[in-house]
Amino acid sequence: MPGFITDERIPNNVDLSSDKRLQRALEKWQPAFLDWWTEMGPEGFQGNEVFLRTAISVESGGWAHFDHVRMPEYRWGIFLEPREKERKIGFGDHAGEAAWQTVPGEYRNMLRRIIVTQGDTEPASVEQQRLLGKTAPSLYDLRNLFQVNVEEGRHLWAMVYLLHSFFGRDGREEADDMLERRSGDADSPRILGTFNEPIDDWLSFFCFTMFTDRDGKYQLAALAESGFDPLARTCRFMLTEEAHHMFVGDTGVNRIIERWCQVATEQGRDKVRSEGAIPLDIIQKYVNFWFSCSMDLFGGEQSSNAADYFAAGIKGRFKEDKFAEHSALGDVYTLQKIDASSLKVYTEEIPLRNAMNEVLRDGYKADCMKGVNRWNKTLAKFGLEERITLPDHKFHRQIGLYSGFHFAPDGTPMDDAAWEAQKDKWLPTQEDRDYVQSLMKPCYEQGKIASWIAPPRKGINGRPFDFDYVRL
């Protein structure tokens, strides 16, 4: 029954009980998921009550329910946006045809690969964040961490539902493998690079939810356009939850900057470390690191995979209906390239379909910029001249055309020697990381906050900051 919470073992709005085979398969996967959660989910606090939001339907306004629950008892469910009557494919070679309710044979591998890649990031992020509960700056932040974690778990459920429903035995095997790979593991790592980077301090966590979850927003939005209707509907609902993850990151970094501003204006810039705040230049370096890693998640600038996905109608652009033309044929994208011998940057026009990763990445960068502008308003409000900037798209890239070359944050190409001589100004050094790590002490008294971050402007769901978000 659409939009209706069921009290089955797996809450859902996809009428799971009418498909006994699927229901049994998912009920078999469920204990494996819980085992994974126990082993790789947040360490500690599994027996504590946490003030969490649970998705209970897809009705706007009433989709979420807030209550104190123990994490292992969180009701991970399967929720898809309601089916749009007679939805048509919005782009690519099949534009105008009826959206697919089952997987077209010729696109089966392509779709499976995308769904697996998307699904893999969700448990990966939980694994990356699993130790952060030991050092949260407040109960409010601790609760936000766990909220993000349980919802990433639900996003895994969303992809596993698609694999089980539409990909038969292969899909079930892929679903099992989701619980086998491990973030950062040498033999069986997570699929995408950034999801193997450790997140061992809270500045990294806030940068991750600001920048990496925002990649999630853009990838999910591109998949929300998919001609494969169940994927589109799943991703639309996931985006509803994603907004809070980015809010956590955006406001988290903003509060760290605000704390720096307080100390810099009240005690003086030379007192930042002794007051236990984080220097702005370290914040900037973390921004440079996580922004550039997250830019890598969009794939190569020039990508035949991306062209194939678009042609097939499987992965569109961000808000495809805002574009005037939906075939993307006969149009070009002007790409920056680098000449390997002279290190000169030049431009080349490439077919637009091959530049779809870059088109999505451009939109992503503009969205990140809005957050940075909010942070800069905080600096301006304190009457300070310093500003946070985003590095050029070529800076510190490990994937695509610019990997293997070095660029300054302003985009200037440089040789290896120049890079080695200056990179410590732009990326966190071991010393920076050690300093940030030295501040990571838990602050779990109701209403109290650590020295390196300002309290939030307001609490969660109308509750005050000093609410018992986690009952210890």
The site partner of 368 among Fe ion, ligand BYC, none (C-beta below 5 to 8 Å per kind) is none
Query: Of 27-35, 67-75, 110-118, 413-421, which segment contacts ligand BYC by CB under 6 A?
Result: 110-118
Task: Tell me the per-residue interface mask from 170 to 189 with ligand BYC, x by CB under 6 A, - otherwise.
Answer: --------------------
Q: Which C-beta is closer to ligand BYC: that of 3 or that of 300?
A: 300
Residue 66's identity, in one-letter code, is F
Token readout for 52 is: 């969490």
Query: Of 2-10, 59-67, 131-139, 291-299, which segment contacts ligand BYC by CB under 6 A?
Result: 291-299
Interface with Fe ion (CB under 5 A), residue total 6
Please list the residues that pair with 98 across neighbouring strands: 88
Vertex 127, ends 196 and 455: CA angle to 5°?
A: 105
The site partner of 399 among ligand BYC, Fe ion, none (C-beta below 5 to 8 Å per kind) is ligand BYC
The site partner of 114 among ligand BYC, Fe ion, none (C-beta below 5 to 8 Å per kind) is ligand BYC
| Least Cβ distance, residue 307 to ligand BYC (angstroms) | 9
Q: 359: closest CA among 225, 233, 238, 239?
A: 225
Beta strands in 330-417 (DSSP E): 332-338, 345-351, 406-407, 413-414
Query: Of 22-30, 50-58, 90-98, 208-216, which segment contacts ligand BYC by CB under 6 A?
Result: 208-216
Query: Of 35-43, 210-218, 269-277, 464-472, which segment contacts ligand BYC by CB under 6 A?
Result: 210-218
Distance CA 338, CA 131 (A): 40
The site partner of 212 among ligand BYC, Fe ion, none (C-beta below 5 to 8 Å per kind) is ligand BYC
User: Is residue 299 at the binding interface for ligand BYC, with CB under 6 A as the rule?
Assistant: yes
| Least Cβ distance, residue 306 to ligand BYC (angstroms) | 4
DSSP state of 212: I
Confirm if 33 and 54 have CB atoms less than 8 A apart.
no
User: Is residue 213 at the binding interface for Fe ion, with CB under 5 A as the rule?
Assistant: yes
User: Is residue 250 at the binding interface for Fe ion, with CB under 5 A as the rule?
Assistant: no
* Contact with Fe ion (CB under 5 A) among 112, 236, 245, 285: 245
Determine how β-strand 470-471 pairs with β-strand 345-351: unpaired
- Binders of ligand BYC among 215-254, rule CB under 6 A? 215-216, 219
How many helices and strands in the chain, by DSSP H and E? 12, 7
| Least Cβ distance, residue 207 to Fe ion (angstroms) | 14
Distance CA 466, CA 458 (A): 10
Query: Of 18-26, 150-158, 279-287, 464-472, which segment contacts Fe ion by CB under 5 A?
Result: 150-158
User: Is residue 155 at the binding interface for Fe ion, with CB under 5 A as the rule?
Assistant: yes
Token readout for 232 is: 């589109």
Distance CA 387, CA 366 (A): 17
Distance CA 270, CA 380 (A): 20
Stretch (H or E) spanning 370:
helix 356-381
Determine how β-strand 49-55 pairs with β-strand 345-351: unpaired
Confirm if 122 and 155 have CB atoms less than 8 A apart.
yes
Distance CA 196, CA 199 (A): 9
The site partner of 447 among ligand BYC, Fe ion, none (C-beta below 5 to 8 Å per kind) is none
Q: Which C-beta is closer to ligand BYC: that of 190 or that of 259?
A: 190
Distance CA 174, CA 65 (A): 31
User: Is residue 193 at the binding interface for ligand BYC, with CB under 6 A as the rule?
Assistant: yes
The site partner of 298 among Fe ion, ligand BYC, none (C-beta below 5 to 8 Å per kind) is ligand BYC
Distance CA 470, CA 316 (A): 40
Q: 241: closest CA among 70, 56, 463, 456?
A: 56
Contacts of 218 (CB under 8 A, 6+ apart): 298, 318, 360, 361, 363, 364, 367
| Least Cβ distance, residue 233 to ligand BYC (angstroms) | 16
User: Is residue 258 at the binding interface for Fe ion, with CB under 5 A as the rule?
Assistant: no
| Least Cβ distance, residue 245 to Fe ion (angstroms) | 4
Query: Of 26-34, 56-64, 299-307, 433-441, which segment contacts ligand BYC by CB under 6 A?
Result: 299-307
* Contact with ligand BYC (CB under 6 A) among 23, 284, 357, 378: 357
Q: Which C-beta is closer to Fe ion: that of 103 or that of 248?
A: 248
Distance CA 469, CA 164 (A): 35
| Least Cβ distance, residue 297 to ligand BYC (angstroms) | 5
* Contact with ligand BYC (CB under 6 A) among 114, 142, 199, 261: 114
Alpha-carbon torsion angle 66, 71, 74, 80, nearest 10: 90
CA-based R_g, the chain, Å:
23
User: Is residue 121 at the binding interface for ligand BYC, with CB under 6 A as the rule?
Assistant: yes
User: Is residue 144 at the binding interface for ligand BYC, with CB under 6 A as the rule?
Assistant: no
φ, ψ of residue 174 to 5 degrees: the values are -60, -40
Binding site for Fe ion (CB under 5 A): 122, 152, 155, 213, 216, 245
Q: Which residues bind ligand BYC (CB under 6 A)?
A: 114, 117-118, 121-122, 125, 152, 192-193, 212-213, 215-216, 219, 296-300, 303, 305-306, 315, 357, 399
